[in-house]
Amino acid sequence: QAPSGQPIELQFWHGLTPPAGPQLEQIATDFNASQNRYKVVPSFRGSYAETVVAAIAAFRANTAPHIVQMFEVGTGTMMTAGRAVKPLHEMLAETGVAIDTRDFIGPVAGYYSTADGRLMAMPFNSSTAIAFYNKDMFQRAGLDTNTFPQTWEGVEQAMVKLKAAGIACPMTTSWPSWVMVEELLAIHDVPLASRANGFEGLNTELNLTNPLMVKHLENLVRWQRDGLFRYGGRDSTADPLFSAGECAIAFGSSGLRGRIEREARFQWGAAMLPYYEGTTPRNSIIGGAALWSMNRGPSNTRSTEEWRGVAEFFRYATSPAVMAKWHQDTGYVPVTRAAYELSRSQNYYARNPGADVPIEQMLRGGEPTANSRGIRLGGFIEIRNIVQEEMERAFQGGQTAQQSLANMNTRGNQVLRNFERTNRNN
Ligand SMILES: O=P(O)(O)OC[C@H](O)CO
């Protein structure tokens, strides 16, 4: 407790909407009830991107929260944020709070670690992109309700049948850049950017004009024109289209599962992301978010006691029972092996067919390659906006897929160069 006898307050900004947001806040409430030394105060700050912007602005004003939930796209920015961030490995060493970081599953730990393997942020709500499909609509279209096509060629055939059966939206996607660009390239083992997708340094160049990307964006543009694919907007805007029963197939975060379970009034299934014929698919990369610890401001660090509170909260939030429940309630992946094993021993996967799809897909194909380990770009949030904007211009008929990709590449590289210039010394 603080000298006043009151618990030490720890501000925690997050970017999750219901139902996951309140479930996350419940974890903070339960932590507070489990001890009386610290009080975590969660606060919803808008979308992930808005939360990041707010946290960085707050740091400049000496009012940063202790903990900010940051989507994976902000990782490169946080890694180079210097004093704004308290690296997790440093915090654990200084406070002595024991968290077995070796228990984090590889693709998650790797994403948030420095080149020499030190964890910078606390893995928490990691996801990966998967397919959800409406079995009632599949049945109406004469499709097998128990199997989802493994390939994009198969998905196209299914979309044609769904449309012929009178379904207005055969397919949509959330997170267009994540699913249709970033995950696609990882699964096909094609680099998105040079220097191991940016893991080896800031001086990277985008590789978006590759033949696979051209083929896929040309397909998406054609499917959209032919009424097979509905572009549902940027980031998570398309999320409700599936659970509301509008679209037969939706690609999105595994973390949508909890929402679909609550809202869908139809039979549905989950499946791995498709790949093009002739490919041996690799692992998909993670999405979702991690918990970053922040100093209050440029001239304002925190006491060891505050960091101890943060670390104790992290330990609680990733303890096997709490993490297993979070995973099962939401669809986010269990970030520790212990939570995965616990879920298995509770027969969760046997009782919920398809619930292990994200984990299986993430761990598929052995060790991740330089193209499937993840992406670490400075200014990635801005680059994603460019990718989405240029895609939209192609969907609106204003440019070809090839022009669209060339523009993404040129504009994105400018963002990378600017970021490199301003962060050279970090
Ligand atoms: O919906 P989430 O939380 O899994 O996040 C999705 C990805 O982070 C997209 O970057």
Rounded CA separation 389/210 (Å): 19
| Rounded CA separation 134/2 (Å) | 53
Task: Indicate which atom in ligand 1 lies nearest the CA of residue 253.
Answer: 4
In the predicted model, what is the mean pLDDT of residues 280-289?
96
Q: How many whole angstroms from 252 Cα to the centroid of ligand 1?
A: 8
Strand runs (DSSP E) across 45-160, as ranges? 67-71, 85-86, 122-127, 129-134
The predicted-structure confidence for 43-87, as pLDDT tens digits, reads as follows 999 999 999 999 999 999 999 999 999 999 999 889 888 899 999
Name the residue at shortest CA distance from atom 2 of ligand 1: 288
Is residue 426 predicted with pLDDT exceeding 60? no
Residue 326 above 90 pLDDT? yes
pTM: 0.95
Distance CA 204, CA 200 (A): 8
DSSP notation for 359-425: HHHHHTTSS--TTTS----TTHHHHHHHHHHHHHHHHTTSS-HHHHHHHHHHHHHHHHHHHHHHHTT
CB 40 within 8 A of CB 31: yes
Q: Which residue has the tokens 């010394």?
A: 425
Q: Which residue has the tokens 């974890």?
A: 27
Q: Is the ipTM of this complex over 0.90?
A: yes
The string of pLDDT tens digits covering residues 143-186 is 999 999 999 999 999 999 999 999 999 999 999 999 999 999 99
Rounded to 10°, the helix 88-95/304-317 angle is 110
Instruction: Tell me, in angstroms, the distance from the centre of ligand 1 to residue 253's CA.
Output: 6
In the block, which residue shows the tokens 């690609």? 251
Ligand 1 atom closest to 239 (CA): 1
Q: pLDDT band at 2, cuts 50/70/90? A: low
- What is the pLDDT averaged over residues 80-101? 95
pLDDT of residue 81: 87
Tens-place pLDDT, residues 103-117: 999 889 989 998 888
Q: Is the pLDDT of residue 15 over 80?
A: yes
Residue 3: pLDDT band by 50, 70, 90 thresholds?
Answer: low
Q: Distance between CA 190 and CA 36 in Å, rounded?
A: 50
- pLDDT recorded at residue 229: 98
The set of protein residues with a Cβ atom below 6 angstroms from ligand 1 is 71-73, 127, 175, 178, 236, 253, 255, 287-289
- Count of residues making up the chain: 426
Choose among 73, 394, 375, 392: nearest CA to 214: 394
